[in-house]
Structure 1
Amino acid sequence: MPTPGFPPNTLDSEGTPIWITDLASGHPNHTLHVARGIEPAEALEVLGAKPGLIQSCELPDNKPDEWTSLPCAALGIEPGTSAALLAGRIGEWTFVYDDSGFTADDVATKALSADGRTAATSVYTINADASLIYAVDGEQVEWVDVDDLNLEEDLPGMPAELRAAFEAAGNVPTEDFEPGEADGDIVMRAACALAGLALTLEDIRRIPLLVVPFDD
Structure 2
Amino acid sequence: MTTPGFPSHLLDGTGLPIWISELACFPDRGDCLHVVRGLAPAAALEILGAGSALVRPCELPRSKQGHNVSLPASSLSTESDHEGTLLAGCVGAWTFVYDDMGLANDEWKTQELSANERTAAAAEFSINAVARLSYAMDGQEIFESSRDNLVLETDLSSMPPELVAAFEYAGTFELDYLDPGEPEFTIFFRVLCALADLRCTLDDLRRIPLLIASY
TM over 0.5: yes
Residue 5 of structure 1, CA deviation? 1.1
> Contact conserved, 1:150 with 1:180, CA < 8 A, in 2?
no
Supply the AA of the counterpart residue of 1:85: L
Q: Aligned pairs, how many?
A: 214
Distance 1:79 1:68, change over 3 A: farther
* Structure 1 Cα separation of the partners of residues 10 and 182 of structure 2: 23
- What is the aligned partner in structure 2 of residue 64 from structure 1? 65
Contact 2:23 2:72 in 1 (8 A): yes
Helix, strand or coil for the counterpart of 2:104?
Answer: coil
Question: TM-score scaled by structure 2?
Answer: 0.94
**Residue 90 (str. 1) matches residue 72 (str. 2):** no
Counterpart of 2:113 in structure 1 is 112
Shift of 1:2: 1.0
What SS is found at the alignment partner of 1:166?
helix
Q: For 2:2 and 2:81, locate their aligned partners in 1 and report how far apart those are by CA, in whole Å.
A: 36
State the 1:107 CA deviation. Answer: 4.3
Q: Which residue of 2 aligns with 1:24?
A: 24
% identity of equivalent residues: 49
1:38 has 2:39 as partner = yes
Q: Counterpart in 1 of 2:205?
A: 204
Partner Cα distance (2:191, 2:74) in 1 = 27
- Secondary structure of the residue aligned to 2:183 is coil
Which digits, 9 at most, give the CA deviation of each residue in 1:99-121, with x for residues without a partner? 00012255411111010000000
* Structure 1: gaps spanning 5 or more residues: none
Q: Secondary structure of 2:75's partner?
A: helix
Residue by residue over 1:149-205, the C-alpha shift from the partner in whole angstroms, topping out at 9 and shown as x without a partner, is 112222222111111111111101324434652111000100111000011100111
Distance in 2 separating the partners of 1:100 and 1:73: 13
Q: Which deviates the most, 60-69 or 128-137?
A: 60-69
Q: Which ranges of structure 2 fall in alignment gaps of 5 or more residues? A: none
Tell me if the contact between 1:43 and 1:96 (Cα under 8 Å) persists in the aligned partners. yes
CA contact (8 A) 1:75 1:211 kept: no
Name 1:123's counterpart in structure 2. Answer: 124
Compared with structure 1, are the counterparts of its residues 77 and 15 closer, same or farther at alpha carbon in structure 2 (3 Å cutoff)? farther
Residue in 1 aligned with 2:2? 2
Distance 1:80 1:148, change over 3 A: farther
- Distance in 1 separating the partners of 2:39 and 2:155: 29
CA contact (8 A) 2:84 2:101 kept: yes
The aligned amino acid for 1:125 is: S
Runs of 4+ in 1 over 3 A off after TM superposition: 77-81
Matched-pair contact (CA < 8 Å) for 1:149–1:181: no
* 2:187 paired residue number: 186
Letter matched to residue 35 of structure 1? V
Cα gap change, 1:54/1:116 in structure 2, threshold over 3 Å: closer, same or farther? same
Q: Against the structure 1 CA distance between its residues 105 and 143, is the aligned structure 2 distance closer, same or farther, given a 3 Å change threshold?
A: farther
What amino acid is the match of 2:57? S
Asked if the contact 1:72/1:79 (under 8 Å) is kept, the reply is no
SS in 1 for 2:194: helix
Q: Using a 3 Å threshold, how does the CA distance of structure 1 residues 208 and 33 change in structure 2: closer, same or farther?
A: same
1:8 to partner: Cα distance: 3.2
How far does the alpha carbon of each residue in 1:36-62 deviate from its partner, in whole angstroms, 9 at most, with x for none? 000000100111101011000000010
Deviation larger for 65-74 or 186-195: 65-74
The alignment status of 1:49 with 2:50, answered yes or no, reads yes
